[in-house]
Amino acid sequence: MFYFVSQGVSIAFAAGAQPGPFTSFLIGRTLALGWRKSIILALTPLVTDVPIVVVVLVILKQFPPELIRVIQLVGGLYLLWIAYASWRQYKAGQASFKPEAAAPDGISPVRTLLQGAVMAWVSPGPYIFWTTINGPLLIQGLNQSLWMGLAFLLAFYGTFIGILSLYILVFDRLRRIDERVTRGIFLVTLVVMVLFGLRLILQGIGVTGI
């Protein structure tokens, strides 16, 4: 069991430390809305991965390149849409960037979680990740016993959710510094999302070498 627990923890640390569009989205939401409205994003993997894990367990094989390209194209467009919506919110002054300010009433935690879930579903990363890394380990554990598979899942998600929660708490603390610095960090997250979005679109239409 120690093998599967250690594998789950180490993979979760690697996944949590890797920058990506979801991390940028999580940081941007935290800076704009605070930890109370954003902490639910730490649970996003539990929502998004369930159908992906089911698919992996049923058909553990590499997804066809055509499907991956479609996911990349849709994911890139969705990222650009999220970045644009965040920019409009920023320009309209709806993002408070202050710990004492309440988050806009129209942005509920459930809506924030749904945005994070859609972002994960239209990104090829989770599918490739579960097909090539986590999926084989999970099946290996389940082949030994149900408890081995559960130990791997608990170790992975416990660690990964903890890392996401730490991101949220750290960047919520950053809201207490100079508001100009906070706004600058927020704008950087928007730029990163745009770059990730454009990269996914280019990969989706077959442009290689990026």
Mean pLDDT by 10 residues, the chain (210 residues): 86 76 82 84 86 71 67 78 76 57 58 80 75 78 89 92 90 76 75 81 74
Give the pLDDT score at 96: 54
H or E segment to which residue 178 belongs: none
Give the pLDDT score at 64: 65
Give the pLDDT score at 203: 78
Give the pLDDT score at 165: 92
CA 70 – CA 73 distance, rounded (Å): 5
How far apart are the two ends of the chain, measured CA to CA in Å? 39
- Measure the CA dihedral 176/37/9/52, to 10°: -150
Domain boundaries, the chain: 2-204
Give the pLDDT score at 102: 46
CA 27 – CA 36 distance, rounded (Å): 13
CA 21 – CA 126 distance, rounded (Å): 12
Other CB atoms within 10 A of residue 133 CB: 14
